[in-house]
Structure 1
Amino acid sequence: MRRLAALALLLPLAACGGGDEGDAADGGELTVLAAASLTDVFAELAVPFEEEHDTEVGFSFGSSTDLAGQAADGAPGDVLATADDASMAVAQDAGVTGDVETFATNVLTIVVPDGNPAGIASLDDLADATWVRCADEVPCGKVAAAVLDAAGVEADPVSLEDDVRATLDKVASGEADAGLVYASDAVAAADDVDSVEIPAADDALTSYSVATLDQSQDPALAADWVTWVTSDEARAILTDAGFGTP
């Protein structure tokens, strides 16, 4: 349904062009390095962009930490989108990014298999459950550790996953009683999981950043993607997918 909405929102993206940087060369190909939690919504946002620019958008989804490190080392790519400021800073400090824009926020939530067979109702219940979260060096792992610490909950996960989608998959498949993921991931897997809200806390919130990369083979097209994902039209799609506004 959201894919249809994205097509309906097709806008004059050419107006998003890079100004002094020149017009994007239609028919090219764009490579976006993006946090795993952006998998579904970025695929959706690509539909009108590809239509307007007569181009293809390819994605490399994974841990923001890993992708930022790869970008900093000069790995091929046109755009970097991370799930936290610290990861983007790695690429910034390496001098490989253009201007950095904050385009969305997200909040941590508990996901459980459909029907919540273990009866998880709060973070406290994780102490007696088989649960999973992201690894400590991954943005969603850092947020999870901070949330648990702030809540005074001592509960060891049975595994630490490479990224938020791997964490979600463990729960959706029934391998774990619960997992800590972002609210947008719970929305994306709504048919397979239920979510248990964590009481609002600053520790549960993360911000998403996007920037062009100096190694881009098409800087104008990369700039158009950044302008698109920070637009009001894209923000409506992000909101529908469970993301918050900056």
Structure 2
Amino acid sequence: MLSKQKLRGMYINLYPFFEYVSQSYCPQFYCVECLCRVMHNRSTLTKKNINMDRLMKHLPALVMAVGFCTVVSAETMIDMQIHNHLQQPLPGAVIEIEVTEPEARSSTLHIIDQVNKAFVPEFLVIKAGDEIDFPNSDNIRHHVYSFSEAKTFELRLYADRPERPVDFPNPGVVLIGCNIHDSMIGYIYVANSRNVAVSDETGRARLSVPEGLEAVTVTIWHPEQSSSPELRRTEKFTQDDLTALISLSVETLDVLPARDTFGDKFSSVQ
């Protein structure tokens, strides 16, 4: 059986790792950090200020937390550089690691508002199974709809907010518009995996990849791509490819075409 002295040493060694995982890598493990904080009375962690009675009481949970963190750590972080066909850094690109097995999911409620005849935000990334509420903050009524394959829906002319949120059970790209104000357009990327990221202003993105895979399939999409607005391109990489910075290119429209109707967004790329 472990002595109290050994348990003290184990806890001191593990606490920084728990804190890093919960704050920097995997926020859902915040409970692990809370558990660690319960077991000592001061912000500075030393062997003297650990409450050993609390440590012994919560030892089973601590051991379980170690197992969880071991699973989380069995992933590799990869960096990607996204640029357009002119070799310029491309912000706003969605990159997703395709999954081969179903992931446990819980529904999250998101909001896309309507302000000054525009969707806010105009672009949103969610996961399959999430819901979106579409409040109307304008002093005029809107009629939100989509005929995208991933989700077809219609919120008929309304003010304030609709009766209920819209669910998005299927992965894919959903374009939304207003049947009254044709200039309004929005994009919803419904991810099938938790491993999804959006490139920053420098075109960089970072994703986690489970270790032990022989090959990884990456999906990439951008709202200004020159191909069909709902098309998600896939690229395959081996584990050897993941050891270096991965560069991906997206052909984008040089000039966004003038659009008189929501349907023109589709006809302009056909």
TM over 0.5: no
The TM-score normalised by the length of structure 2 is 0.23
Richer in strand (by share): 2
Higher relative contact order (CA 8 A, sep 6+): 1
The TM-score normalised by the length of structure 1 is 0.24
